[in-house]
Amino acid sequence: MPRRMTLPSRRTGALACLLISLVALTGCKNTRENDAGREGLPAEIGHIEYNVFITRELNLKDVEDRGYYQGPEAPPGFALYGVFLQACNPHSGPGPHWTTASNFQIEDTQGGVFRPLPPPNNIWAYKAQPLRSQACIPQKGSLTASGPTNGALLIFKLPLSSLENRPLDLRITAPPDASGQRDSKLIELDI
């Protein structure tokens, strides 16, 4: 003969169902993801506005990609990724020149950290420098700024296993300010 549930058991069961539903509706949040900016949206870091236009794998057998990088191909188990970005001093007037970041790294969700390769010796390479007001890297009107990627290039050699640990975030760390503090932000890459 089936047993009848008593009133306290019904309440406990209803409460358990409510809690399970609440967890299912809210989902699990990745705090890293919530803190990261998005590729394609500008983020101000240390008085400079950075915008990652595109991140994509570089194929050195492709004519266009050979123009970006003439170094060795990625070894087995790795891939070369180009991060094309713009850095601008958005401030107007005769104000200070702000230096762009030279500290970049890609971080995966498992704690992997990857630094860019040394910049190639070509017009596409991103190179940190002071920017006067309204100036950008790449310079507005330049071939780099008006090319298919619209940005200066950082190249990363990423292990293929890191692509399973997405989202991958680009951490940009600004040079220290007058008090020695460094501004740092994440931008989620669209890989």
What pLDDT is stored for residue 20 in this prediction? 47
33 vs 63, more confident? 63
Query: How many Cα atoms sit within 13 Å of 50 on the Cβ side?
Result: 33
User: Predicted confidence band at 19 (pLDDT cuts at 50, 70, 90)?
Assistant: very low
Phi, psi of 137 (to 5 degrees): -115, 120
Indicate if the pLDDT at residue 40 is higher than 80: yes
Domain annotation covers residue 170: yes
Domain annotation covers residue 16: no
What pLDDT is stored for residue 9 in this prediction? 57
**Do 55 and 93 touch, CB atoms closer than 8 A?**
no
**Do 43 and 101 touch, CB atoms closer than 8 A?**
no
Q: Which residues, other chains included, contact 38 with Cβ-Cβ below 8 Å and sequence gap of 6+? A: 187, 188
Q: Which two tokens stand for residue 110?
A: 């498992």
**Pairs from 124-127 (Cβ < 8 Å, separation ≥ 24):** 124/67, 124/68, 124/149, 124/152, 124/153, 125/152, 125/153, 126/85, 126/87, 126/151, 126/152, 126/153, 126/154, 127/152
Domain annotation covers residue 171: yes
Domain annotation covers residue 182: yes
Percentage of residues of the chain with pLDDT beyond 70: 82
**Do 52 and 128 touch, CB atoms closer than 8 A?**
no
CATH of the domain at 53: 2.60.40
Domain span at residue 131 reads: 29-188
CA–CA distance, 76 with 78 (Å, rounded to integer) = 6
What pLDDT is stored for residue 83 in this prediction? 97
Task: Please tell me the total count of domains within the chain.
Answer: 1
What pLDDT is stored for residue 96 in this prediction? 78
Domain annotation covers residue 21: no
Domain annotation covers residue 13: no
**Do 187 and 55 touch, CB atoms closer than 8 A?**
no
pTM of the model: 0.80
Domain annotation covers residue 11: no
Domain annotation covers residue 64: yes
Q: What would the mean pLDDT of 24-36 be, rounded to a whole number?
A: 48
Indicate if the pLDDT at residue 2 is higher than 70: no
- The 10s digit of each residue's pLDDT in 56-113 is 999 999 998 998 998 999 999 999 999 999 999 998 877 778 999 999 999 999 999 9
Indicate if the pLDDT at residue 144 is higher than 50: yes
Residue with tokens 């090319």: 147
